[in-house]
Amino acid sequence: MTMHKTAQATHAARASVDAMIEDLRTLVEIESPSRDLDALRASATAVAAVIESRLGGRAVLVESEAGPHVHWSGGGDPRVLILGHHDTVFPLGTLERRPFKVEDGQATGPGVFDMLGGLVQAIHGLATLDDWSGVEILVTADEEVGSRSSRALLEERALACGAVLVVEGAAEGGALKTGRKGCGTFQVSVTGRASHAGLEPAAGVNALIEAAHQVLDIAALGRPDVGTTVTPTVASAGTLDNVVPAAATVVVDVRVESADEKERIESAFAALAPHLDEAEVAVAGAVSRPPMPESASTELFALAQKLFPGIEGKAVGGGSDGNFTAALGVPTLDGLGAVGGGAHADHEYLVIDAMAPRANLIAGLVRARQNT
């Protein structure tokens, strides 16, 4: 009851764009690179404080090896989970080079679009409601690095709530994300044998040449006609310019649209074999985020279209924690966060004029779930 009264008393302030920008500035200016535990603790503490100041109650820090996750509940039987993350891809010091700014209708700074803006909009959207029963917020600390420590928790809360609203940044043009490819990373390690490159090159087993063969084999696994991309992205080999390389590694990004393609790709990587005599090839990795089929978003996207006529939905290549919840069969709608662009890049931005409409959309979807 106290939380209900607080919501009514401060409705106008919480619905304002100025208040959203104030909270966004607070979160952006506490840098939160993945795997930096001290930074993530400061970030989680700030996220919890924003939630508590706008919604009341207690936001709990859930400890993990990847840093604290933040969980808040409005009480009552779980009905809807708002899912996001507070870690970002930008290293400490980015803020000094690219400080938070608001000008020309945009907010810029590390993490404004992916995805601190979405968190702020969701919190302020909820603040416009008179009742938060059945609503949960989960903000994880490791989405950008695979969600290994948070996956079990987010899957548990998704199953308990029965519907998930993911506040990742919107697709191009403000579209919601109705489907996502499954994605994963593989590392191919090649072992050869070193020798003097000038005196006896034939005595060695050139790991770099073997890696070149592997790159060609790997690239051939892609099937763009069915949405499968297989992209070698990072390679390293050798130690000195006069030594036949004894080791090499190749890192590969994989995106798939179906479970069948996930199985095909994983089997193909497991079957990679060396071309050179005495070379060895070892593979680690998997398609760790399953595809998010568009069928998972059908129900919630239809609600969004009623609330926001004309809004579009798009299937995208990038993955999110929505992949995990959709794979469980839980209705999931993604891309409900900031409208903008430049995720993971220096030109990252958020569109100010879209903040209030997106907050209202979250509020409308939550209200609809509460009434079902």
pLDDT at 14: 46
Q: What is the pLDDT along the chain (372 residues), one digit of tens a residue?
A: 334 433 333 333 345 899 999 999 999 999 999 999 999 999 999 999 999 999 999 999 999 999 999 999 999 999 999 999 999 999 999 999 999 999 999 999 999 999 999 999 999 999 999 999 999 999 999 999 999 999 999 999 999 999 999 999 999 999 999 999 999 999 999 999 999 999 999 999 999 999 999 999 999 999 999 999 999 999 999 999 999 999 999 999 999 999 999 999 999 999 999 999 999 999 999 999 999 999 999 999 999 999 999 999 999 998 999 999 999 999 999 999 999 999 999 999 999 999 999 999 999 999 999 998
**Tokens describing residue 92:** 């400490």
Domain boundaries, the chain: 2-180+292-370, 182-289
pTM above 0.75, yes or no: yes
Measured CA distances, 334 to 128, 170, 312, 362 (Å): 21, 8, 12, 11
Return the CATH fold of 182-289. Answer: Alpha-Beta Plaits (3.30.70)
Distance of CA 214 to the CA centre of its chain: 29
Contact assessment for residue 7 and residue 132, using Cβ atoms and an 8 Å cutoff = yes
Report how far residue 228's alpha carbon sits from residue 215's, in angstroms, rounded to the nearest whole number: 16
Write down the pLDDT at residue 258: 92
Q: Hey, which bits of the chain come out as E strands?
A: 60-62, 69-73, 80-85, 101-103, 106-108, 135-140, 164-166, 176-180, 182-191, 229-237, 247-256, 280-289, 313-316, 332-333, 340-341, 349-351
- Which pLDDT belongs to residue 372? 84
- How many residues can be counted in the chain? 372
| CATH code that applies to domain 2-180+292-370 | 3.40.630.10
Q: How is residue 285 written in tokens?
A: 């990795």
β-strand pairing of 229-237 with 135-140: unpaired
Lookup result for tokens 């409005």? 74
